[in-house]
Chains A and B, each alone.
Chain A
Amino acid sequence: MIRVLVAKPGLDGHDRGAKVIARALRDAGMEVVYTGLHQTPEQVVDAALSEDVDVLALSILSGAHPTLVPRIMELVKENHMDDLLVLLGGIIPEDDVDPMINLGVAKVFGPGTDTNDIVAFIRGRVEVV
């Protein structure tokens, strides 16, 4: 069973996208922990750690990814969560994609991504016990 945390770090108040993803992943047979809006990087990583998820799916629409994602990845490393797959979705400008990947994000999904592609990506990367 694949377990995913869908998290909304930062201050933007729109979680329609996050909820669509959560439902799509559930319908694909995954267990999805959703923590609601306005999470700090510390809260996001604490939840991922406590819930022992395979995947951390971040949704950021506010443009704050250049500050939020580095902090989150730092905390992930501090806690030795080496086997965590981190995905980023939302509004991420083209030029920011590579820097996000360099931080350790496995893949960036932009607006209009087919949820089947996300499901397929996760299935391809997470070993199911």
Chain B
Amino acid sequence: MKDWDDIAQGILKGQKRAIARGLTWIEQGRNDGKQLAQKLFPHAGNAQVIGITGAPGVGKSTLVNALTLQLRSQGLRVGILAVDPSSPFSGGAILGDRIRMQDSVMDAGVYMRSFASRGHLGGLSRATFGALTVLDAAGFDKILVETVGAGQSEVEIMQLAHTTMVVLAPGMGDDIQAIKAGILEIGQVFVVNKADRDGVDHTVRSIRSMLALASEHPAWMPPILKTVAEDGRGMKELADALENHWQHLTDKGLLERFRWGQTEHLIEQAMADIGDRLVGRARSGQEWSHWVAEVGTGTREAEHVAEELWRQEWRED
């Protein structure tokens, strides 16, 4: 499997190895990865992308495992992307989401891939959008995207997922944290996991009263479900709720609008990537320390220097 055309054919047939290699190319930001994504883009657009977010420890990975088993029992093919944080010190990462997904991932109808966030904020990795195109084109019916789970600044998932599922657990003081993070506004489905523990009803009540305050989406009232992912309780109801939201989007003709927003996000991200590259080149340029000194002594303003550097880089491009 050397060239992107081979890989594209393999992906369209749903072959695991081709999918895996295609995702690597996209993650590495290689040019053939971009060609690949472009080639596959027309074949995508059929899968429901489901984002799973929530604070660490609420059981997101276990929930993904249990939900995958449920979706498989309904004959659906499931793609999974799980994002873990990269170390800000070494740039390395330990990706441990597979540990809790062992029951579901061996199935031929399931493909699971771990990504490191590689410094990208927002709870996802930069490659997520391209990766979604690959899994969609590979014919998966449902694609589950598990975010970093920092519990804050996870809002990006909303732009990539058709349905965002916010997971909480009782007794973690999550309700207040969740409001602070603005995470309640992004959920179309709420899950109170570990529902065999004390305090479930309290957590459900606080989500309900919070949702009552934010009546911006009267067309869709987010359901609140109780689950015990550990033993699979509540998975049928969860799968139904996710399907209902998908039906809602389809029936109301909302998918077009969603795709527009997704494409806007894609362009914004491409612009941010260019910005990052310019920063990298400026930093490694000979005049960098000169500029730092000027700003440090108050001779110039940072914004002025930034504009100057931007103009220089632009001319060289």
Residues of A whose CB lies within 8 Å of any CB of B are 1, 3, 22-23, 25-36, 39, 42-43, 46-47, 49-52, 79-81, 129
State which of B95, B99, B112 has its C-beta within 8 Å of the C-beta of A32. Answer: B95
Which residues does chain B contribute within 8 Å of A1, judged by CB atoms?
28, 91, 116, 118
Cβ of A26 and Cβ of B94 under 8 Å apart? yes
Closest to B19 in A: A50
Cβ of B116 and Cβ of A35 under 8 Å apart? no
- Verify if B152 is at the interface (C-beta below 8 Å from A): no
Cβ of B16 and Cβ of A49 under 8 Å apart? yes
Cβ of B21 and Cβ of A25 under 8 Å apart? no
Cβ of B94 and Cβ of A22 under 8 Å apart? yes
State which of B90, B105, B111 has its C-beta within 8 Å of the C-beta of A28. Answer: B90
Q: A33-B114, A50-B113, A129-B30 are in contact. Are A26 and B90 (CB under 8 A)?
A: yes
Which residues does chain A contribute within 8 Å of B30, judged by CB atoms?
129
CB distance from A25 to the nearest CB of B (A): 7
Closest to B101 in A: A35
Q: A1-B28, A52-B23, A52-B24 are in contact. Are A34 and B90 (CB under 8 A)?
A: no
- Verify if B249 is at the interface (C-beta below 8 Å from A): no
Cβ of B93 and Cβ of A31 under 8 Å apart? yes
Cα–Cα, bound, A39→B99 (Å): 10
Cβ of B92 and Cβ of A26 under 8 Å apart? yes
Which residues does chain B contribute within 8 Å of A36, judged by CB atoms?
96, 98-99, 102
State which of B21, B94, B98, B116 has its C-beta within 8 Å of the C-beta of A23. Answer: B94
B-side interface mostly: mixed
CB distance from B36 to the nearest CB of A (A): 14
Supply 22 A–B pairs (Cβ within 8 Å), ascending by A. Answer: A3-B24, A22-B94, A23-B94, A26-B87, A27-B87, A28-B92, A31-B92, A32-B92, A32-B94, A33-B96, A33-B98, A35-B99, A36-B98, A36-B102, A39-B102, A42-B106, A50-B16, A50-B105, A50-B113, A51-B95, A51-B98, A52-B20
Looking at chain B, what size class is its interface with the partner chain? 20 to 34
CB distance from B11 to the nearest CB of A (A): 13
Which residues does chain A contribute within 8 Å of B20, judged by CB atoms?
49-52
Cβ of A129 and Cβ of B28 under 8 Å apart? yes
Closest to B80 in A: A50
State which of B23, B90, B95, B102 has its C-beta within 8 Å of the C-beta of A29. Answer: B90
CB distance from A111 to the nearest CB of B (A): 22
Cβ of B116 and Cβ of A31 under 8 Å apart? yes
Which residues does chain B contribute within 8 Å of A34, judged by CB atoms?
94-96, 98-99
- Verify if B17 is at the interface (C-beta below 8 Å from A): yes
Which residues does chain A contribute within 8 Å of B90, judged by CB atoms?
26-29
Closest to A35 in B: B98
Cβ of B92 and Cβ of A35 under 8 Å apart? no
Which residues does chain A contribute within 8 Å of B118, judged by CB atoms?
1
Cβ of A46 and Cβ of B105 under 8 Å apart? yes
Q: A46-B105, A49-B17 are in contact. Are A30 and B99 (CB under 8 A)?
A: no
Which residues does chain B contribute within 8 Å of A79, judged by CB atoms?
17
Closest to B96 in A: A34
Which residues does chain B contribute within 8 Å of A35, judged by CB atoms?
98-99, 102
Which residues does chain B contribute within 8 Å of A42, judged by CB atoms?
106
Cα–Cα, bound, A79→B89 (Å): 35
Which residues does chain A contribute within 8 Å of B98, judged by CB atoms?
33-36, 47, 51
Which residues does chain A contribute within 8 Å of B113, judged by CB atoms?
50-52
Cα–Cα, bound, A52→B28 (Å): 12
Which residues does chain B contribute within 8 Å of A28, judged by CB atoms?
90, 92
Cα–Cα, bound, A29→B93 (Å): 7
Cα–Cα, bound, A1→B24 (Å): 10
Interface string of B7-49 (1 = CB under 8 A from A): 0000000001100110110001010000000000000000000
Task: Rank and list the top 6 A-B pairs by shortest CB-CB distance, nearest first.
Answer: A26-B92, A36-B99, A52-B20, A52-B24, A29-B92, A33-B95
Which residues does chain A contribute within 8 Å of B111, judged by CB atoms?
50
**4 more A-B residue pairs beyond the given contacts A27-B87, A50-B20, with a C-beta to C-beta distance below 8 A:** A28-B90, A51-B95, A51-B114, A129-B30
Closest to A19 in B: B94
Q: A36-B99, A50-B16 are in contact. Are A27 and B112 (CB under 8 A)?
A: no
